């Protein structure tokens, strides 16, 4: 289970690491150490609020102590430095306790989304050789304990399942904490802190290795840009495991600054607006479809939303028209954010003019974020023209976890990450996202890798071939459409039976195709490959 630096996860060449340290970006801190320092500096300040079903709160001292006791309990069960632990928790206080406990002992959380099912979880546990898996009991109408039992059978490395709630056949998280004995050695700042998930373009999701040094820089860099400080009261409206609400500036950024994080169980206005009023929320982050819903709902809201100072919108393209409506409707500032779990994050700035805020997706956090915009042949395009976005910098990974072949395609030889996004740079250095070259569907911020869904549909006995593409959608931006060719002689099928087949395989619901169409053949490219481009333009008619 040992990790080999540079092999399991490619890292920065030494001269880059030295430069990032010398520039003061990498401060030599760890997550566990930061919480300890904040708890010492302001023990009684409120760190965390979990409002449902009854309001629970944690001061910095309480969070620090909880993390310590939980860390000691994990260590006593043999979980240690470098071990991977799949954490699949919704927006509940246990999420924050668990990840800080793991940070402290140097075990690596692998952040699964609550929507993930057997296909994804089984893969994460096997591929990461996870030793433990943390779940809620039953949540949102789904029983994660059954899922864990099935995954455990197929994953020899998995020794523990911890449950926040009624544990059933597994171990209750509440039984884990014990007296801290200081028997473990914490991680070094340059070591991995966790594995984040990529939206992906391939058959299986990629794991993104982030270090304490690099991720902490993205946090305090974001805090400076967004004006996060000890008075910030941040609402985590999106799933807490997602990179955007975690780090841009997110709940981790807010804890770094000594502010207060409030976990929102659901992102709809009926749940979020009362919390904005009662918890005096000042800041939150939303994906574009949610921002639209909030903008509309604010007109008739009975709650006092006047405490809200800043709303960040990102994850998918936010239309200019929608962006113009947000500030007047919610009575706060808007900031667009264009980021990726692999690293690079761009923000519009608080002092940008309105036109820049509503028409661009911002500029990078760091003066040392290198951005190249290139044509198909890899040559830089003149400023102002569209091209492929490549990037490298102090918080952008140099490669995915254990994926050398994929890394050879996704990174240039000199370490630039090929984002797959098509962008243009304005004279002020702001980026405008024009589109995407990668094979991915962005369903209102939730990313779907067509190949992953295609592989599942191909397993259907009546299916000869399948191609999954994006269809424009007014609300989500994009939805998914599966073009299916049936086997010769197969009985006709209804779209719903394909959807049911995918769902029954145990996969996140947002990956089930929104639409299914049966066709006789796919359009081909010159060399006889399926032309996704042409399929997409056919799909535009939807
Ligand atoms: P991931 O790599 O899964 O973290 O997803 C990051 C991707 O989301 C980016 O590469 C973009 O394709 C997309 N994305 C994120 N924010 C924005 C935004 N503000 N506008 C357009 N696309 C975005
Ligand atoms: O979409 C993303 O992955 C994303 C969007 C905004 C992100 O990772 C981020 C900000 O940090």
**463-485 per-position pLDDT tens digit:** 999 999 999 999 999 999 999 99
Q: Domain range spanning residue 140?
A: 31-44+58-187
In the chain, DSSP finds a helix count (H) and a strand count (E) of 17, 27
Give the separation between CA 334 and CA 232, rounded to whole angstroms: 16
Determine if ligand 1 sits within 6 Å of the CB of residue 206. no
State which of 145, 160, 187 marks the end of a domain: 187
Q: What is the CATH number of the domain that holds 460?
A: 3.30.300.30
pLDDT at 380: 98
**Per-residue pLDDT tens digits for 321-350:** 999 999 999 999 999 999 999 999 999 999
Determine if ligand 1 sits within 6 Å of the CB of residue 314. yes
Determine if ligand 2 sits within 6 Å of the CB of residue 314. yes
* Residue 468 lies inside a defined structural domain of this protein: yes
Contact status, residue 256 vs residue 63, Cβ threshold 8 Å = no
74 CA distance to ligand 1 middle (Å): 35
pTM for the whole structure: 0.96
Q: Scan for tokens 């402290």, then name that residue.
A: 104
Contact status, residue 252 vs residue 103, Cβ threshold 8 Å = no
Determine if ligand 1 sits within 6 Å of the CB of residue 285. no
pLDDT at residue 528 is higher than 80: no
Contact status, residue 148 vs residue 133, Cβ threshold 8 Å = yes
**Per-residue pLDDT tens digits for 161-199:** 999 999 999 999 999 999 998 778 899 999 999 999 998
Determine if ligand 1 sits within 6 Å of the CB of residue 63. no
pLDDT at residue 4 is higher than 70: no
Rounded to an integer, the average pLDDT of 348-376 is 98
Determine if ligand 2 sits within 6 Å of the CB of residue 247. yes
410 CA distance to ligand 2 middle (Å): 18
Cα–Cα distance list, 47 to 66, 196, 231, 273, 308 (Å):
12, 23, 11, 21, 18
288 CA distance to ligand 2 middle (Å): 12
Q: Shortest CA distance to 176 belongs to which of 83, 84, 60, 98?
A: 98
245 CA distance to ligand 1 middle (Å): 13
* Most informative mutation of 438, 447, 448, 508 for ligand 1 (most atoms within 8 A of CB): 447
* Residue 82 lies inside a defined structural domain of this protein: yes
- Reported confidence tier of residue 1, pLDDT bands at 50, 70, 90: very low
Determine if ligand 1 sits within 6 Å of the CB of residue 317. yes
Nearest ligand for residue 390 CA: 1
Q: Encoding tokens for residue 286?
A: 């939303």
* pLDDT > 90: percent of the chain: 92
Given the CA of residue 433, which atom of ligand 1 is nearest to it?
A: 21
167 CA distance to ligand 2 middle (Å): 33
pLDDT at 523: 74
Angle formed by the axes of helices 14-22 and 212-226, nearest 10°: 40
Question: For strand 138-139 and strand 171-172, is the pairing parallel, antiparallel, or unpaired?
Answer: unpaired
Q: What is the CATH number of the domain that holds 138?
A: 3.40.50.980
Counting the structural domains of the chain, the total is 2
Instruction: Look over the chain and give the mean of its residue pLDDT values, rounded to a whole number.
Output: 96
Contact status, residue 401 vs residue 208, Cβ threshold 8 Å = yes
Rounded to an integer, the average pLDDT of 211-224 is 98
* Residue 352 lies inside a defined structural domain of this protein: no
Terminal Cα distance for the chain, rounded:
49
- Burial label for 278, CB within 10 Å (0-12, 13-18, 19+), is middle
407 CA distance to ligand 2 middle (Å): 20
Q: Shortest CA distance to 302 belongs to which of 327, 271, 274, 343?
A: 274
State which of 148, 170, 187 marks the end of a domain: 187
pLDDT at residue 29 is higher than 60: yes
* pLDDT > 70: percent of the chain: 97
**Per-residue pLDDT tens digits for 250-273:** 999 999 999 999 999 999 999 999
* Degrees, nearest 5: CA angle 132-133-138: 150
Given the CA of residue 447, which atom of ligand 2 is nearest to it?
A: 1
Question: For strand 441-443 and strand 138-139, is the pairing parallel, antiparallel, or unpaired?
Answer: unpaired
Determine if ligand 2 sits within 6 Å of the CB of residue 440. no
Rounded to an integer, the average pLDDT of 393-414 is 97
pLDDT at residue 47 is higher than 50: yes
* Residue 480 lies inside a defined structural domain of this protein: yes
State which of 163, 187, 211 marks the end of a domain: 187
SS3 401: coil
pLDDT at residue 303 is higher than 90: yes
Nearest ligand for residue 238 CA: 2
Nearest ligand for residue 198 CA: 1
pLDDT at 535: 75
* Most informative mutation of 195, 290, 360, 433 for ligand 1 (most atoms within 8 A of CB): 433
Give the separation between CA 73 and CA 283, rounded to whole angstroms: 34
pLDDT at 532: 76
Determine if ligand 2 sits within 6 Å of the CB of residue 248. yes
* Most informative mutation of 225, 285, 336, 337 for ligand 2 (most atoms within 8 A of CB): 337
* Most informative mutation of 237, 243, 420 for ligand 2 (most atoms within 8 A of CB): 243
Contact status, residue 277 vs residue 112, Cβ threshold 8 Å = no
Q: What are the strands, taking DSSP E only, across 403-498?
A: 417-425, 431-436, 441-443, 446-448, 463-473, 477-486
């Amino acid at each position: 289970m040992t990790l080999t630096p540079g092999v399991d996860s490619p890292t920065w060449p030494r001269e880059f690491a030295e430069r990032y340290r010398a520039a003061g970006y990498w401060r030599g801190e760890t997550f566990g150490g930061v919480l300890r320092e904040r708890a010492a500096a302001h023990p009684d300040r409120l760190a965390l609020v979990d409002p449902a079903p009854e309001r629970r709160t944690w001061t910095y001292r309480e969070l620090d102590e909880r993390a310590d006791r939980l860390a000691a309990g994990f260590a006593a069960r043999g979980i240690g430095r470098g071990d991977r632990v799949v954490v699949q928790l919704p927006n509940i206080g246990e999420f924050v306790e668990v990840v800080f406990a793991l940070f402290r002992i140097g075990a690596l959380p692998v952040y699964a989304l609550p929507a993930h099912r057997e296909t994804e979880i089984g893969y994460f546990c096997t591929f990461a050789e996870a030793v433990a898996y943390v779940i809620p009991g039953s949540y949102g109408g789904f029983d994660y304990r059954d899922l864990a039992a099935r995954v455990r059978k197929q994953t020899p490395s998995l020794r523990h399942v911890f449950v926040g709630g009624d544990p059933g056949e597994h171990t209750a998280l509440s039984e884990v904490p014990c007296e801290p004995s200081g028997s473990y050695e914490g991680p070094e700042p340059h070591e991995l802190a966790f594995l984040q998930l990529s939206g992906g373009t391939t058959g299986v999701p990629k794991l993104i290795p982030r270090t304490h040094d690099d991720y902490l820089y993205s946090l305090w860099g974001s805090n400076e840009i967004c004006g996060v400080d000890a008075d910030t009261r941040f609402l985590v409206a999106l799933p807490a495991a997602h990179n955007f609400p975690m780090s841009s500036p997110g709940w981790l950024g807010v804890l770094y600054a000594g502010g207060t994080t409030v976990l929102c169980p659901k992102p709809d206005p009926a749940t979020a607006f009362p919390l904005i009023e009662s918890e005096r929320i000042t800041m939150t982050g939303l994906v574009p479809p949610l921002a639209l819903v909030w903008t509309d709902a604010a007109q008739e809201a009975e709650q006092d939303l006047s405490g809200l100072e800043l709303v960040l919108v990102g994850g998918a393209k936010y239309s200019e028209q929608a962006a113009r409506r947000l500030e007047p409707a919610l009575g706060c500032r808007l900031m667009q954010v264009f980021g990726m779990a692999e690293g690079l994050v761009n923000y519009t700035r608080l002092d940008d003019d309105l036109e820049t805020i509503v028409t661009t997706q911002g500029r990078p956090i760091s003066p040392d974020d290198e951005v190249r915009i290139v044509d198909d042949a890899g040559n830089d395009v003149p400023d102002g023209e569209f091209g492929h976005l490549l990037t490298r910098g102090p918080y952008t990974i140099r490669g995915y976890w254990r994926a050398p072949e994929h890394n050879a395609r996704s990174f240039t030889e000199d370490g630039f990450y090929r984002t797959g996004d098509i962008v243009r740079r304005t004279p002020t250095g702001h980026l405008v996202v024009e589109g995407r070259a990668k094979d991915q569907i962005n369903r209102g911020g939730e990313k779907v890798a067509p190949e992953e869904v295609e592989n599942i549909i191909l397993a259907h006995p009546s299916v000869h071939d399948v191609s999954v593409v994006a269809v424009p959608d007014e609300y989500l931006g994009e939805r998914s459409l599966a073009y299916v060719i049936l086997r010769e002689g197969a009985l006709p099928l209804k779209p719903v039976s394909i959807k049911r087949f995918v769902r029954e395989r145990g996969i996140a619901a947002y990956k089930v195709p929104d639409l299914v169409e049966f066709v006789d053949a796919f359009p081909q490219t010159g060399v006889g490959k399926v032309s996704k481009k042409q399929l997409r333009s056919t799909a535009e008619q939807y």
